[in-house]
Amino acid sequence: MKIITIAICLGFPFLSLVSQSTENKLNVLDRKAYERSIQKNSNKELINLEKKIPGITLDIKYATRDNFTKQVIYKEPKAFARKPVAEALRKANLEFLQLGYSIKIFDAYRPYAATVKFFEIVGDTRYVASPKTGSRHNKGCAIDLTLVDQKTKRELSMPTEYDSFRKEAWAEASVSDPEILKNRTILISTLSQYGFRVNKTEWWHYDFLDCSGFEVLDIPFEELE
Ligand SMILES: [Zn+2]
């Protein structure tokens, strides 16, 4: 800021532009920078959700071709989130277990390179995050999920399939089937009690609200363990 102030005072608009563009550049951490960051703040650690949360299942769509890109994006089907996010999800899952359900994760922490790839494929920030900003998934702070029956592991009926671009996927879209409405309501309201807010246009996407200070990361899953 000091440089900008001085530059403006001295009437050097060129210098102020240069320092502003540096400030606006997205800060993306590689593995080494991430490791330094967790030494300073252990809450920044990415936790393996499958190991941390008893009873959850994974169905990581981007590790298969069964996703909107029709390409395999991840080398491994893994799910990670920052420590407080993982802890909140563990508590929410305990509540779901009491109802006879458990969480099934479609996607969690997403390396920044995957967000860049999505944008190359789709090229429209209405549907995918802009590489200029990254997404909360890149910060280990958002989870895509649904509920399954605890015993059979069958998915509960929800308004649409995962990653649907249809209007029915909106979190407040009207639902005529009472069972589907009940399932969506339990999912959204329980997660909201643990600090997660549903995305307006995606019933399966939940942002953890307390994510200040968590940077965008670009570390492939295989480098995390
Ligand atoms: Zn999402």
CA of 157 to the centre of ligand 1 (A): 19
Residue numbers in the known binding site are 137, 144, 205
Q: What's the structural domain count of the chain?
A: 1
Judge contact between 180 and 157, C-beta under 8 A. yes
Judge contact between 204 and 193, C-beta under 8 A. no
CA of 143 to the centre of ligand 1 (A): 6
Indicate whether 177 belongs to any domain: yes
Residue numbers in the known binding site for Zn(2+) are 137, 144, 205
Indicate whether 159 belongs to any domain: yes
Indicate whether 11 belongs to any domain: no
Q: Which one is catalytic: 50, 87, 155, 202?
A: 202
Residue 143's domain is classified under what CATH number? 3.30.1380.10
CA of 89 to the centre of ligand 1 (A): 15
The C-alpha atoms of residue 65 and residue 48 are separated, in whole angstroms, by 23
- Catalytic (active site) residue 202: yes
Indicate whether 41 belongs to any domain: yes
Indicate whether 102 belongs to any domain: yes
Provide the strand spans (E) within 10-163.
Answer: 28-29, 46-48, 57-58, 80-82, 101-107, 142-149
Q: What is the pLDDT along the chain (225 residues), one digit of tens a residue?
A: 444 433 334 444 444 444 444 456 899 999 999 999 999 999 999 999 999 999 999 999 999 999 999 999 999 999 999 999 999 999 999 999 999 999 999 999 999 999 999 999 989 888 889 999 999 999 999 999 999 999 999 999 999 999 998 999 999 999 999 999 999 999 999 999 999 999 999 999 999 999 999 999 999 999 998
Indicate whether 7 belongs to any domain: no
CA of 180 to the centre of ligand 1 (A): 20
Indicate whether 129 belongs to any domain: yes
Indicate whether 218 belongs to any domain: yes
For residue 151, the enclosing domain spans 29-223
